[in-house]
Amino acid sequence: MATTDFKDYYAILGVSKTASSEEIKQAFRKLARKYHPDVNPNNKQAEARFKEINEAYEVLSDADKRKKYDQFGQYWKQASEGVSPNAGADMGGVDFSDYGSFDEFINELLGRFGGGNSRGGRQTYSYRTSTGAPSGFGGFNDFGFQDVGNGAVQDSEATIPLTFAEAFNGVQKQLSLGNEVIDVRIPAGAKPGSRLRVRGKGLVSSVNQQRGDLYLKVELQPHSFFQFEGDNLVCEVPITPDEAVLGVSIEVPTPDGMVNVKLPVGVRSGQSLRLRGKGWPETRGGRGDLLAKIVIAPPKDLSPQEREYYEKIRAIRTFNPRSHLLQVKL
């Protein structure tokens, strides 16, 4: 593969290779808002750009994936096409003899489903969307892993990426475990870090030939508006200065549609409004809350009449939000 086929995720997000995680996050959110399909209906170019932005952020927002990408990034697309690397290529000291195949190397590189080499004691898992019948599995719990080194049981772990829509509504996935294909259903309400147990689909013990369990760890792909802070679903809602001063009813997106929210008079920038029952599904039933963080957004371009009235307000304004700063001393 020509090096010109390589995707530069840093360039896609418009950040430097030394950018902090916060800078990467801010760049993603800005671009995601600009190219989101809801903002650009029937725009194939914007849709492709949005997918590219998501792909870049998914890698660069994960410290481990980013580290591996920085080291092996020039072979990223080559690996996804199933082409073995050039024997004379510089791979930064990687010994490919440690891997059963180049696919196993790239799975470790991507961090999708754990390393496929025998040193890690894990298998490589791939998946695709399916409408087949589901298999049974445990619920969302902090399952403990048994010691895979004692030979008695061989549990396996895999990371399964989901979109916000898939995690919110629930989805069926088809996993390919070597020559075996299984169907699993992810119930509604999966959160980042949630773990599912698929019984009897792990590795086979070399001691007693019993098969362990497969644990699927949920990883949510970034969303342009919603995000998680701990267990809370949060979003940022911009309002104008006059809406903050006078109070107003506005429409706010929730996972299942727009709702009308009444802003109190004098709402502050950074203040969060709790929209009860409009958040994430709970595993025991019901819905959590959505926290809408208010951000006062001053207009960048004013008409002559708007500027005139803002100047009049400034001339007669009696409120000074910085009056208390006169008392600040070291």
Percent of the chain with pLDDT over 90: 38
Using one digit for the tens of pLDDT, what is the confidence trace for 256-295?
Answer: 899 999 999 999 999 999 999 999 998 778 899 999 999 9
Domains, in order of start, for the chain:
1-85 (1.10.287.110), 123-224 (2.60.260.20), 227-322 (2.60.260.20)
Strands (E) in the chain, as ranges, are 126-129, 156-162, 171-177, 180-186, 195-198, 214-220, 227-229, 232-239, 248-254, 257-263, 272-275, 290-296
Length of the chain: 330
**β-bridge partners, 196:** 216
Tell me the average pLDDT of the chain.
77
Whose tokens are 């082409």? That residue is 83
User: Helix, strand, or coil here: 126?
Assistant: strand
Name the least confident of 21-30, 74-83, 136-145, 280-289.
Answer: 136-145
Q: Reduced to 3 states, what is the DSSP secondary structure of residue 111?
A: coil
Q: Identify the three-state secondary structure at position 211.
A: strand
pLDDT-based confidence at 33, cuts 50/70/90?
A: confident
Report the C-alpha dihedral over residues 241, 244, 250, 251, rounded to 10 degrees.
80
Q: How far apart are CA 58 and CA 222, in angstroms?
A: 7
Residue 303, Cβ neighbours under 10 Å: how many? 9
pLDDT tops 80 at residue 100: no
C-alpha to C-alpha distance for 94 and 71, rounded to whole angstroms: 10
**Each residue of 205-246: pLDDT tens digit?**
767 778 888 899 999 999 999 999 988 999 999 999 999 999
Task: Identify the pLDDT of residue 259.
Answer: 96
pLDDT at 131 over 70: no
**What is the tens place of the pLDDT at every residue in 177-189?**
777 888 889 999 9
Residue 6, both tokens: 């390589």
